[in-house]
Amino acid sequence: MSGEKRLENNTQESHEGGKKNGNHVGLEGDANLQFLTNGGDLTKVKSNKWKKKRFYRLMEDGQTMWKETHKGFKKDRTFSIDDIESVRRGRQTEGLQKYTDNTLEDYCFSIIFKGKRKNLDLMASTREDAKKWATGLEKVIINMRNLNSQQKSEHWIISCMRKADKNGDNMMTLKEVKHFLRQINIEVDDMYAAMLFEKCDTSRSGTLEGEEIKQFYDLLTKREEIDVIYGKYAKTGGHMSAGDLLNFLQQEQREAGSLENALKLIDKYEPDLTAKQNKQMTKDGFLTYLTHLEGLILNPAHINVYQDMRQPLNHYFISSSHNTYLMQDQLKGPSSTEAYIRALLKSCRCVELDCWDGPNGEPVIYHGHTLTSKVLFKDVIKAIKEYAFKTSEYPVILSLENHCSVEQQKLMAHHMTSILGSALLTRPLGKEIPVCLPSPEELKGRILVKGKRLNKLEVAFNNNTDDVDSVSEEDEAAEAKQGEQETKTKTKKIKLAKELSDLVIYCKSVHFNSFEHSREKQACYEMSSFKESKAKNLAENSATEFIHHNMDKLSRIYPAGTRTDSSNYNPVMMWNAGCQIVALNFQTSGKEMDLNQGRFLPNGKCGYILKPDFMRNPDSQFDPNMPTERGRLRKKILHVMVISAQQLPKLNKDKPKSIVDPFVKVEVYGVPADRASAQTAYINDNGFNPMWNKNMHFTINVPDLALVRFVVEDYDAASHNDFIGQYTLPFTSVQNGYRHIPLLTKSDDVIPSAKLFVHIMVLDP
Q: Could you give the residue numbers annotated as active site?
A: 322, 367
From CA 188, how far away is CA 686, in angstroms rounded?
Answer: 9
Residues 6+ apart with CB under 8 A from 750: 742, 743, 744
DSSP reduced 3-state for 165: coil
From CA 390, how far away is CA 268, in angstroms rounded?
Answer: 30
For residue 237, give Cα distances in angstroms to 71, 218, 249, 265, 491: 62, 23, 19, 19, 82
DSSP reduced 3-state for 236: strand
From CA 183, how far away is CA 670, in angstroms rounded?
Answer: 39
Letter string b/e over residues 193-209, b meaning 16 or more CB atoms within 10 A of that residue's CB: beebbeebbeeeeebbb
DSSP reduced 3-state for 108: strand
For residue 111, give Cα distances in angstroms to 36, 108, 141, 301, 496: 14, 10, 11, 33, 41
Q: Angle formed by the axes of helices 532-541 and 543-552, to 10°?
A: 110
Q: For residue 578, which amino acid is it?
A: G
- The continuous run of DSSP H or E covering 638 comes out as strand 636-646
DSSP reduced 3-state for 503: coil
Please give the backbone phi and psi of residue 234, each rounded to the nearest 5 degrees, phi first. -80, 90
The β-bridge partners of 730 are: 707
From CA 510, how far away is CA 487, in angstroms rounded?
Answer: 17
- Of the candidates 728, 576, 698, 729, which has an alpha carbon nearest to the alpha carbon of residue 636? 698
From CA 241, how far away is CA 247, in angstroms rounded?
Answer: 10
CB 554 within 8 A of CB 517: no
From CA 14, how far away is CA 434, in angstroms rounded?
Answer: 66
Burial bucket for residue 657 (CB in 10 Å: 0-12, 13-18, 19+): exposed
From CA 73, how far away is CA 763, in angstroms rounded?
Answer: 60
Angle at 366 between CA 362 and CA 368, to 5 degrees: 105
What SS3 string covers 523-573?
A: CCCEEEEEEHHHHHHHHHHCHHHHHHHHHHCCEEEECCCCCCCCCCCCCHH
Q: For residue 126, which amino acid is it?
A: T
Roughly how many angstroms between the first and final C-alpha of the chain, as a whole number? 63
